[in-house]
Structure 1
Amino acid sequence: MKELNIGKVIVAKRREKGLTQEDLAAYIGVSKASVSKWETGQSYPDITFLPQLGAYFNISIDDLMGYSPQLTPADIKALYHRLADDFAARPVAEVLAECETIIKKYYSCFPLLLQMAVLLANHHMLAAEQESARAMLEKAVTLCQRIRIESNDRILTRDAVSVEGTCYLMLNQPAQLMELIGETVRPFPTDTEMLAQAYQMAGNPDKAKQVLQISIYQHLLFLVSTASAYLILNACDLDRVESILTRTLGVAKLYDLEALHPNTMAQVYYAAAQVYAIHQDADTALNYLADYTQVCVSDFFPYSLHGDDYFDAIQPWFEDFDLGVGAPRSEEVIKQSMLDGLVANPHFDFIKSDRRFLDLIKQLEAHLTKVP
């Protein structure tokens, strides 16, 4: 441990009891000079004195040393967002070094380890070298594995599996993912529906409605967001692609997803543009890129999870999220990724000299670099 506050704790506890340094020294069986050195940080008590000091002050050894192995949810959220901002403003290597220090200090705080894994996964693309980016993902996997093995928290373990699996995909390790989650698709759990019925039976219909709204919201986002991967998977079959888009965009329009969850819609439009770019269909690809750009420049920031007139009971659920209602990456990093999606994707090389494409780039640049 590099940060021991034992001296300050001894001073505070001794004064609470109205004791002098001589009184404490006599009780422990050391000299007054030794107590003075402890309190000024010139030296630490011998390890054999710690139980005696803790018992005398009626505190644990951890409290005596001024150390807590756990952070509160509020502390974790604040730390995550501060580090996310740092990734956008400081050299990646510096932020990674700080992350490593924090992980070592709180290696038994599993909620923190989960969010550190999320942080590394969300920012690995900022590393200057591919090897460094891969190392960040591998570190995230290691943290998730520790949570799965050591934590007894069922929800934390489930979330760790999800983050670990996502990292395996980004590491191009499909075998590890299939080993982690299995190869059988299971039916949706019915826990949510049963919980809603339980609330209704208990005489709390408002809570039952909230539970069902949350379930509908999650299923809706799952349905639409999955379409992005399904479009790419069926890229060779344009008839199937058009069918996917007709159904997906129909649902999205019905629920006004561009306003409710613009990030999901940006991903769908981007995937559609990429599919048509593969077929060298410039007009259709540009149409979907225009939709993508419009979503990115229309009230995307400040990003915040929210409901609407239909989903009018889910805001308290968002507020309880580990990282709050904000985005898991800083606004600067998100804006840069939006722009990179157009200029760095080789599928769009064949239209990069098209005036319409250049206009979209200008539109994105103008909006994303605008000072709020």
Structure 2
Amino acid sequence: MREINIASVIVAKRKEKGLTQDALADYMGVTKASVSKWETAQSYPDITLLPQLATFFNISIDELMGYMPQMTADDIKRTYQKLSLDFSEKPFDAVYDSCQLIIKKYFACFPLLLKMALLLINHSMLTNGLERQADVIKEAISLCERVRTESDDVWLVKQANSYEALGQLMVNEPIMVIDRLEDTIKPLMADEMTLSYAYQQLGQTEKSKNVLQVSIYQHLLTILGFAPLYFQLVAGDPQKFEEALERFIKLAKLFDVDRLNQNIMAQLYYAAAQIQAMAGNIESGLSLIEAYTEVCIAIKFPLEMKGDHFFDSIDGWLKELLDSEGVPRSEKVIKESMLIGLTQNPAFSMMKDDIRFKQCIYKINDYIGGKSHG
């Protein structure tokens, strides 16, 4: 990010042209003392002189002032990561105020606004009280709405639509979610297959394989990502729930997702354990909590994503994805949420004195302390 700094820009551009302060003063119709004050930031050019000064240096007024209304992708990523870390270490409102300053300064940078919306959604649970949390989420929704209605980037608009719906769901506005998403559910277009065939026709076998592997990987995680909600929908029918749990876990085991993506599996195991605990199925619930614990403590930081012997062409894509998207929450917040999920969920209260449950708590506590596990 660059601050407004017209003084250094004038100095640099004047020297670039090989001009003295006298020469610039003559051209602008001001005194040498005025130019000197501009360059030492003791005063600024009158606003009516900015177009003439920018034209003389053949730059825009924004460039003259050292102001960039748009952030680079790297700047956006660094900003997100810094603020995410700040949320884990500083008072929420102090970091929230910093977010507001950045949003106001770069209100025309739609990729940044979208990231800020996601940042607020991901950290809204750190607020004090549900009312404050709802206010923060509504701020994120408003940022998404701005991107959705004013951006010309189709992909940004699509993402904004999704994040906006997520925020609306979190503040209990299901009708708004349906209005936002209902018309977006269309028959699947197999563009990946078409692209893969195109690469194959060109003899680019590796490219063809990469496209299909990336698609298979994404669809696999999407299917498993549906599991927690589907478990809730069939929780009232024990037979259907058991069948759903068995199928999702078999699919995950088939593709070794415990190793490929611990986060998606942690969500699956946790959701299933909660339903089993609420149904009084303590033994099954404990087994799922143990599985949840093992995938949690297998997550390594700094986070990296890799394929395996089957997904052997996607490492580059995964690295690029992680580099561009970053980690949604800081390491501290991620680790603490693992423990809070077990210790503060009333569904697990019947298990709290069980030795197996206590061992899971101990393992996660140990993991948060930075010790490794085999």
Q: What TM-score do the two structures reach when normalised by structure 2?
A: 0.94
Aligned to 1:155: 155
Q: How many residues align?
A: 371
Aligned partner of 2:165 in structure 1 is: 165
Q: Which moved more, 1:126-135 or 1:104-113?
A: 126-135
Whole-angstrom distance in 1 between the partners of 2:188 and 2:296: 32
Corresponding residue for 2:66? 66
Give the Cα separation in 2 of the matches to 1:211 and 1:46: 56
- Specify the alignment match of 2:25 in structure 1: 25
**Mapped partners of 1:195, 1:262: distance in 2:** 30
How big is the shift at 1:72?
1.2
Over 3 Å counting, the alpha-carbon distance change for 1:224 and 1:180 in structure 2 is: same
SS in 2 for 1:172: coil
Structural mapping, 1:90-129, within 5 Å: 90-129=90-129
Q: What displacement does 1:323 show?
A: 4.9
Q: Please give the alpha-carbon distance, in whole angstroms, between the structure 2 residues aligned to 1:201 and 1:136.
A: 51
Alignment of 1:18-57 (within 5 A): 18-57=18-57
2:219 maps to amino acid: H
Change (3 A) 1:20 1:326: closer
TM (normalized to structure 1)? Answer: 0.95
Map of 2:272 onto structure 1: 272
Deviation at 1:327, TM superposition (A): 2.4
User: Mean alpha-carbon deviation: is it higher for 230-239 or for 190-199?
Assistant: 190-199
Compute the RMSD of aligned alpha carbons. 1.8
CA distance in 2, matches of 1:322, 1:56: 43
Q: Letter of the 1:247 partner, please give it.
A: R
Counting only pairs closer than 5 Å after superposition, residues 202-217 of structure 1 correspond to structure 2 as: 202-217=202-217
Using the alignment, how far apart are the partners of 2:327 and 2:3 within structure 1?
31
The letter for the 2-side match of 1:5 is N
Query: C-alpha distance in 2, partners of 1:33/1:325?
Result: 49
- 1:46–1:203 CA distance, 2 compared to 1 (3 A): farther
Pairwise CA distance, 1:163: 1.2
Return the offset for 1:322: 7.0
Q: Which amino acid aligns with 1:364?
A: I
CA distance in 2, matches of 1:46, 1:361: 65
Q: CA deviation at 1:326?
A: 4.7
Q: Aligned partner of 1:304: which letter?
A: E
1:325 Cα offset (Å):
6.8
Return the offset for 1:133. 1.6
- Is the 2:77–2:325 Cα contact (8 Å) retained in structure 1? no
Q: CA deviation at 1:304?
A: 2.1
Amino acid at match of 1:268: L
Quick one: distance in 2 between partners of 1:280 and 1:342?
16
1:235 matched residue in structure 2: 235
Q: How far apart, CA to CA, are the structure 1 residues paired with 2:68 and 2:277?
A: 54
1:199 deviates by 2.4
Runs of 5+ in structure 1 lacking a partner? none
Deviation at 1:371, TM superposition (A): 5.5
Cα distance change of structure 1 residues 283 and 194 upon mapping to structure 2, 3 Å threshold = same
Establish whether residue 334 from structure 1 lines up as the match of residue 330 from structure 2. Answer: no
In 1: Cα distance, 2:324 partner to 2:306 partner? 11
User: In the alignment, what sits opposite 2:359?
Assistant: 359
2:321 counterpart SS class: coil
State the match for 2:130 in structure 1: 130
Mapped to 1, the partners of 2:111 and 2:19 lie a distance apart of 40
C-alpha separation between the residues in 2 aligned to 1:170 and 1:300? 29
Structure 1 residues 150 and 359: alpha-carbon distance in aligned structure 2, compared to 1, 3 A threshold: same
2-structure distance, mates of 1:102, 1:126? 20
Q: Aligned equivalents of 2:302 and 2:14: distance in 1? A: 49
Corresponding letter in the other structure for 1:70? Q
Q: 1:95 to 1:3 in 2, by over 3 A?
A: same
> Structure 2: which amino acid aligns with 1:13?
K
How far does residue 251 in structure 1 lie from its aligned partner after superposition? 0.8
Given that 1:77 and 1:322 are in contact with CA atoms closer than 8 Å, whether structure 2 keeps it comes out as no
**What percent identity do the matched residue pairs reach?**
48
Q: CA deviation at 1:354?
A: 2.4
Indicate the larger mover: 347-356 or 225-234.
347-356
CA distance in 2, matches of 1:259, 1:36: 63
Contact residue 80 and residue 323 of structure 1 kept, 8 A: no
1:9 correspondence with 2:9: yes
Is 1:181 equivalent to 2:177 in the alignment? no
Find the aligned partners of 1:72 and 1:319 in 2 and give their Cα distance: 19
Compared CA separation, residues 322 and 114, structure 1 to 2 (3 A)? farther
What secondary structure sits across from 2:226 in the alignment?
helix
- Unpaired stretches in structure 2, ≥5 consecutive residues: none
CA contact (8 A) 1:305 1:326 kept: no
8 Å Cα contact 1:50/1:61 also seen in 2: yes
**Aligned-pair distance for 1:198?**
2.5
Q: Is the 8 A contact 1:73 1:322 kept in 2?
A: no
Aligned residues of 1:266 and 1:296 also touching (Cα < 8 A): yes
Q: Structure 2 CA distance, aligned partners of 1:218 and 1:54? A: 49
